[in-house]
Amino acid sequence: MAKEYVVAILGATGAVGHRMVAQLAASSIPVKEVKLLASARSAGQQMEFRGQTLTVEETTPDSFNGVDLVLSSAGGSTSKKYLPEAVKRGAICVDNTSAYRMDPEVPLVVPEVNADQLKHHHGIVANPNCSTIQMVVALEPIRKAFGLKQIIVSTYQAASGAGQMALNEFYQQAKDHLAGKPMEANILPTKGDKKHYPLAFNLLPQIDVFEDDGYTHEEWKMIHETKKIMKNDMDDADLKVTATCVRVPVPIGHGESVYFQVEDESATVADLRKVLETAPGVVVEDDPAHQVYPQPLKAEGTGDTYVGRLRPDAENKGAFNMWVVADNLLKGAALNAVQNAEELIRQGLL
């Protein structure tokens, strides 16, 4: 009989955690038992899994006794505190936070791109940043077919990327502004920084904190995670990547304007489109004559990465522009984590 797994979801009550529960329920993973873990604030809350009502428990190290698989999205410091405890007790963890992504011992995996890295795990597998995931799903098939020299990306990131509380704050600001009341800001652009600005009816060119070089940490993550996933080296010099990350007043679904240069300068838009049309996890939505292009509202709730507005740079051979959209909470987080777990099982690693 196939093995059945005891699964713990750490951060089950968050924007991503809720979706981890739902994606696990919808997956092919044989589940013996699910443990829903969060902080003391959420203990006692009830959630559904495959027709059962489960109660959220406060996380302690012993919560991981007997657990085979952990899916975690409760923030980097919570992962650093509890995942070593889970590994010590024999669990394998798929972690959605930034805590372990740059650890050379930890594979950073998007199954469509580098599932072959999973076998190198030592108990922890990292899920990349949401913006990085959707970009590499769209670019890896192009890199495989034509080579890739450079990426210049600007993101249009949804409020939910900063968590459920940030999403709630954004909706409240929109209501208050339309009612003629002042908007309050206590979380965005980033909880950990000193100043806060309203996102409703606004754009915030800051996601995460600033580094000394003037880039934000989110931009740093896109650069180095992309290199680690595509080239297996976070500092690879042959693939140039630069990024500008912007928070936009959209609840769910990140958009990205991606400019890229391939090695094979004979590649045409038709060649790229052909590759993208058969690429796993990609849906091409690109028909300017009928105004067809990817949009967050259409992507929300789905697991695919949508690509459109594909066009050549008229002045640079081998260079192209495209527009990429995905649900940041699903392919960008919960779904990718569950797909990593499914792939671990398929490869006999769990």
**Minimum CB distance to ligand L14 smaller for 128 or for 141:** 128
Binding flag, residue 163, ligand 25A (CB under 6 A): yes
User: Looking at beta carbons only, is 10 or 258 nearer to ligand 25A?
Assistant: 10
Residue 157 interacts, among ligand L14, ligand 25A, none and using kind-specific CB cut-offs from 5 to 8 Å, with ligand L14
Among 160, 305, 339, 340, binds ligand 25A (CB under 6 A): 160
CB of 116 to ligand L14, least distance (A): 23
Q: Which ranges in the chain belong to alpha helices (H)?
A: 15-26, 76-88, 111-114, 130-146, 164-178, 217-231, 269-277, 296-299, 335-346
φ, ψ (nearest 5 deg) of residue 217? -65, -35
What is the smallest separation between the CB atom of 203 and ligand 25A, expressed in angstroms?
19
Unique residue bearing structure tokens 């657990």: 67
- Asked if 165 is part of the footprint of ligand 25A (rule: CB under 6 A), the reply reads yes
Position with the least CB separation from ligand L14: 161
Tell me the sheet residues that pair with 245.
Answer: 155
- Binding positions for ligand L14, rule: CB under 6 A: 98, 129-130, 157, 161-162, 207-208, 218, 221
Q: How far is the CB of 146 from ligand L14 (least distance, A)?
A: 29
List the single partner that 74 binds among ligand L14, ligand 25A, none, CB under 5 to 8 Å by kind: ligand 25A
Among the listed residues 18, 93, 130, 245, the single catalytic one is 130
According to DSSP, residue 330 is labeled I
Q: In this structure, what token pair is assigned to residue 188?
A: 């965005």
Concerning whether 245 is annotated as a catalytic residue, the answer is no
Among 329, 330, 338, 350, binds ligand 25A (CB under 6 A): 329
How far apart, in Å, are the Cα atoms of 107 and each of 44, 54, 124, 126, 344? 34, 31, 8, 6, 12
120 is an active site residue: no
CA distances from 320 to 31, 75, 85, 256, 312 (A): 44, 36, 46, 14, 4
* Closer residue to ligand L14, CB minimum distance, 75 or 281: 75
Helix, strand and coil content of the chain, in percent to the nearest 5, comes to 35, 25, 40
Pairing verdict, β 69-72 and 46-49: unpaired
Is the Cβ of residue 102 or residue 349 nearer to ligand 25A in the bound state? 102
Q: H-helix or E-strand containing 310?
A: strand 305-312
Binding site for ligand 25A (CB under 6 A): 11-17, 38-39, 41-42, 59, 73-76, 78, 96-98, 130, 160-161, 163-165, 328-329, 332-333
What are the residue numbers of the active site?
130, 254
